[in-house]
Every structure is written in C-alpha cells, then in structure tokens.
Structure 1
C-alpha cells in the first residue's frame, strides 16, 4: 500500500510538471536566459523557481553565474542573454556602452564581511588583522565588484593587505576560506549567510563605506523579450524583494 501511494504521488508530481512544461511550450516563448553575478546564485535559483510557478507560460534556462566582469565580456562578445543581473552598476557599463541594455534598475544592495573559519581560530576582529603576517587573506580581483568593494573598504580604513590570491568571483574566495586554503577573505554578507556553519562572518567597522548596488536589465536583443521583462518585474515586485531579503540582501 505504501509503495502504491508513493507511486501515485510521484505520478501526480510528474503530471503537474509536464503540464507546466507543456504550458510554457504552448506559449511559444523560449526559456529565459539569465546571466547573474555569482553572489546571486541561491536567491536567483529560488526567484526562477517562484517565477515559473507564478507564470507557468514561461520557463527559465539554467542560469549562468560568474563574476560580473566575466559575464559582461561574454555578453559584449555576443552571448545570447535575456536578463542581466550584476553585483555593481559599473560592471554593467560595458554592456550599456555596447548598446545592449539601458542603465538598468537597482534591485538589491549588499555589504562585505570578513569570512573566517568557524570559531575564528586566528582571532580576527578588524580589517587591520587581515594585514598581519600570520594571517593569509584571499580577496576578489580588483576589477570585479567584490574586489572593487574590498579595495574601497580597505582604503577607507587605511589598511594595506597583500593577498595570497585574487579570485575572479566571490564564490572562489568563499571556497578557499572554507577549504582552509586561507585564514580569511572579504566576501558579501550574503555569502557568509549562505555558507551556514562552514564560515563565521565578522562585520568590519564603517562597512557602509562600500555598498554594492545590484542592477538588473533586459537585453535589447533578448531572444524572449516578453518573458525577460516579466522576470525583471518579478524580481522588482514585493514577492521578489521578499525572497532577496530572506537571503540577506538589502533593499534598493
């Protein structure tokens, strides 16, 4: 009997999923192609899920996540994309200058934390501790949004750090600290929250000296323009903003 019930439940879910897919296919809209900053991964995966639940006439292709600069390069070089969501406004400029999008709309904000191993074994409490000779620090490369924010925050504090590596996106910084390859890293507070018990976050003094404002824009060459606009509007809606807040993002 238990096997029969389980089988019927699985069949029900399959039929429901197929119905949603068939509705999307019937609308004639191609899946929405989204390029998003690495720090948005958890929130945008959920946004895509909730969007398609609310709009079964549309579907979303697997989202491409990477550093905003790397994504901008791909887009300018001709990658097909409908919706672009970056970790700071300056990263969108090459795309705007190429005539692919307008200046976009800010949909979220984020600030930095010092990420360390659970228990904070090196007793790091300030930005100045990142410059200690016994502390290995990893940062984002200065040309990517988290790197720009890190430089701005460190400069404001008068701290010079010689990182053991400079990564092309914030996820790589998180991974290196989690793996014990560095004692500390500057990442977004949302990344520390997403890491759960794998990382401890320390909020630096005057953290608001470097606030990242995340823009979202629809490509003027979008293969699925109506679906793209619908997704952008969903991100900006109260429902979308609620999801982003749950992941630790600040309001626009």
Structure 2
C-alpha cells in the first residue's frame, strides 16, 4: 500500500474520531430532537400564560416542545389563577397562548375579541387535603364547617374556587373559611406548611408533594373543571402559538398531561 493511501486512511479515521467526539459533546447537553420533516421550522420567542394547576405539566410540555423546535425559545411560563391571567391578557399582556382551568375565564378573553376558537385539552377534579399526619383530625368534607379548624379555599373568581363552591353546595356544607386564595397553588402551600388544617385543591396538585394527605370527596365528579387552550389572535408568533396548541392537544401532549394526573377533556 502506498504512503498516499495510508495517509488518506489515517485522515478518514481521525475524522471519524472527531465526529464521534462532537456527538459525545452534544450528548452531554441532552438530545436535540429535530421536528418532523412535514413541520415548519419555528423561530423567535413564544410566551405562554397558563393556570397555576398546570405548572408541572406545562413546564414539561414546554421543554419537550423546545427540544422538538430547537430554534424556538419558549419563555418561562406565566402561571397564576385563570381569572388573573385573563384580566392581564385583556389589559394587554403580550401572551401568545392562554391555557385556562375553566371555560368561564377563557370566555372573558374571547368576548374581548382576543381569541376565537379555544379547544378543550384536559380535565381535573377536586380533593380534600390536610397536612401530613392530619393534625386537625379531618375525615371528610363536613369537617370544613368546624370553626375550630383553619380552612383555606380558592377565591370564587378562580376555577378551583368555583368548583369548590359547587362541591360544597352539592354536599350541603357551609365551610368556615379562614382565607380565600387567588390560585390553587397558594391553597396547597398553606396546607403543606401546616398553616391550615384543610383545603380543597385539584387532584393533580395534591400529587406534587408528600407534605399533604388527600381525602377523596364524594361527589367530586360533579364539579369537574375542563381546561381550554387557545392561540391568541394578536400573537407576535402566530405559527409557534398554533403549533404549541396542537402539540398540547396531540398524542405527546396527552401523554404528558396524563402522567401528571389530568383527565381527558
């Protein structure tokens, strides 16, 4: 074999090692998943406003969506009570996508002419929670009427509050409420910290911490919240907004939502 051919083989071998090293470096950063060939390449930024109860699931969905579209930057998602988010959007907050925990607050945005075709993508139900060890001795929904207990609920304007009102009314219970919170996360936080003896949150929220215990509530199925999502008409990145909505409602999105305890819409 001639020296020229030997040098050529050695060069190819070194090139292969170099490519292998580059692949290893990329692997250290985590896999980059290219979008399917039939999808448009998405660029720019995407701003999502989502109900507080969607926090864990939407963080995961956003991460997967970014891996699918590596040229797109999904901004840190804004989470809060759906009524608060709807108000902010109507007042001009620069959101591209809005995911609400109920249809009523989505209607606020639609009626303001900012969205036209929201679609349902998930559902959720309430559960009674107490701090780990149940220091207040709570056994059921009727105990929320006991003024000796510290009870926290979501405010009526937010979806978890509206559902709580329905659930309590159906059960004939008048709760002795110490504080009303502006989102479900605040209720969970107070109970988990032992600042309250009991509260009502979504099943999905109760599952996020070992610092609370859940007590199933009879009739919870009659107060189901259904979650709509929409790409806002004034989105600065309409293609990315529409693609994210489709992703959330698609097979991959449903799998993520189900893994966090959400039901089908």
The answer for the alignment partner of 2:263 in structure 1 is 250
Residue 33 of structure 2 contacts residue 67 of structure 2 at CA under 8 Å; is this kept in 1? no
2:241 maps to which of 221, 225, 228 = 228
In proportion to residue count, which structure has more helix?
1
CA offset digits 1:127-181 (Å, max 9, x no partner): 1011113221100011111100000000000000121100001111011111111
Question: TM-score scaled to structure 1, two decimals?
Answer: 0.89
- Count of residues in Structure 1 that have an aligned counterpart in Structure 2: 238
1:200 aligns with 2:213: yes
Distance 2:79 2:57 in 1: 12
Q: Offset of 1:185 from its aligned partner?
A: 0.6
Q: Identify unmatched segments of 5+ residues in structure 1.
A: 1-7, 21-26
Distance 1:71 1:91 in 2: 9
1:121 maps to which of 125, 129, 135 = 135
Distance 1:46 1:104 in 2: 21
Q: Offset of 1:58 from its aligned partner?
A: 2.4
Residue 128 of structure 2 contacts residue 201 of structure 2 at CA under 8 Å; is this kept in 1? yes
Residue 194 of structure 1 aligns to a residue whose secondary structure is coil
The answer for the alignment partner of 1:211 in structure 2 is 224
Distance 2:256 2:164 in 1: 26
Question: TM-score scaled to structure 2, two decimals?
Answer: 0.84
1:167 aligns with 2:204: no
1:94 aligns with 2:105: no
CA offset digits 1:92-129 (Å, max 9, x no partner): 11110111012411100000011111122323222101
The answer for the alignment partner of 1:23 in structure 2 is none
* Distance change (3 Å), C-alpha of 1:243 and 1:17: closer
Could you list the runs of 4 or more consecutive aligned residues of structure 1 that deviate by over 3 angstroms after TM superposition? Answer: 8-20
* Distance change (3 Å), C-alpha of 1:18 and 1:155: closer
Distance 1:127 1:151 in 2: 12
The answer for the alignment partner of 1:150 in structure 2 is 164
Structure 1 vs Structure 2 CA RMSD: 2.1
Q: Identify unmatched segments of 5+ residues in structure 2.
A: 1-21, 35-40
Residue 93 of structure 1 contacts residue 103 of structure 1 at CA under 8 Å; is this kept in 2? no
Distance 1:65 1:233 in 2: 20
* Distance change (3 Å), C-alpha of 1:242 and 1:169: same
* Distance change (3 Å), C-alpha of 1:13 and 1:75: same
1:71 aligns with 2:85: yes
